[in-house]
Amino acid sequence: MKKIAILGSTGSIGTQTLEIVRSRKDLDVVALAAGRNIELLEAQIREFAPQVVALWEEQDARDLTVRIQDLPVRVVSGMEGLLEIAALPQAEVLVTAVVGMIGIQPTVAAIRAGKTIALANKETLVTAGHLIMPLAKEHGVPILPVDSEHSAIFQSLQGGDGNPIHKILLTASGGPFRGKKREELADIQVEDALKHPNWKMGKKVTIDSATMVNKGLEVMEAKWLFGVGLDQIQVVVHPQSIVHSMVEYEDGAVIAQLGTPDMRLPIQYALYYPKRRGLIGERLDFYKLSGLTFEAPDLETFPGLSLAFAAMRRGGNIPTAYNAANEKAVSMFLSRRIQFLEIPEVISVCMDQCCFIRHPSVEEILETEAEAYNLIESRW
């Protein structure tokens, strides 16, 4: 019986992780953490019987305690609660599925406690990869990617037998606006940007896909996860979302991972690695595939991707400025305070104006986030 804890259990990755648990008899949920969705968390508690649960707000935790007073479950809150769950002795695997830089400190705590990390929180490596990867190596802790693209790269590397990588080919669907030009995006509304053609994801990640910032974050993450240079990462637009990513080796051979666009596959692979388990769901039917196409990304229409490469080349805390600015800008777009095309503008301004720190600590990363937020509030 493998015991797991989930940070972000009420979000898209968290709920799909619990779908897998529901279908398996050899996974046991010992802890759950959520943001503000008390109703769904209560339902999850009653179904999966964790020992400890966390909510971000203390008042929400008090409310939940009353609602589940008939159950032997301890309720904690805030960052202290997340840190407790991350290092919970009973857990073997920590699924980090929270959104934002809130995931950094719990990931550090879990690594120090020797937990296997099933990583679905991009921001942890985007902003603190220079701290996280050496720490994981020091403690002998595996970081298993849950993102479909990074999982695909990881799976493709299993067939490489340790041979040097020439290039990572990171695929992108192109989002709902693939093929459109900048002038066509001037009046894009929230509802339009949330219509992803292939994947079912949370709102923030769906908007990031529409701007291609999501792919920029994945480029940053891939650099840290796989120890490659930026010039070894190539983004390829693949609208069918069948080829989830590829690895090219020095002899020109390319190994790819293919599958239907189902996030449960990379989640389950991370939970059971290196074993594979049966998974009920749609399978690829190559007789019905009309074709697989690939194209270069349109960096003029979607500058968020080129800004990501620029942020990583500058290094230091600039990827943090990029990420924090995007988080704030997406929130403002979702609340209709800015236009769709203003999202990369906000990112660019923060990258230019945040104070540069070459080797930021966790505290300095969080200070950069606050600086970016304050800068945006003063300008928009």
The per-residue pLDDT for range 35-67, each reduced to its tens digit, is: 999 999 999 999 999 999 999 999 999 999 999
**pLDDT of 195:** 84
Q: Rounded to an integer, what distance in angstroms lies between the CA atom of residue 32 and that of residue 55?
A: 9
Q: Rounded to an integer, what distance in angstroms lies between the CA atom of residue 92 and that of residue 26?
A: 13
What number of CA atoms fall less than 13 Å from residue 379's CA on the CB side? 18
CB 347 within 8 A of CB 326: yes
- Structure pTM? 0.93
Q: What is the pLDDT of residues 315-373, one digit of tens each?
A: 999 999 999 999 999 999 999 999 999 999 999 999 999 999 999 999 999 999 999 99
**Which region among 185-189, 193-197, 288-292 has the lowest average model confidence (pLDDT)?**
193-197
Distances (CA, A) of 368 to 81, 124, 179, 289, 371: 24, 14, 35, 46, 5
CA dihedral sign, ordered 270, 276, 277, 282: positive
What is the side-by-side order of every strand in the sheet holding 243-249?
A: 233-237, 165-172, 243-249, 254-258
Q: What is the pLDDT of residues 257-298, one digit of tens each?
A: 999 999 999 999 999 999 999 999 899 999 999 899 999 999
**pLDDT of 196:** 80
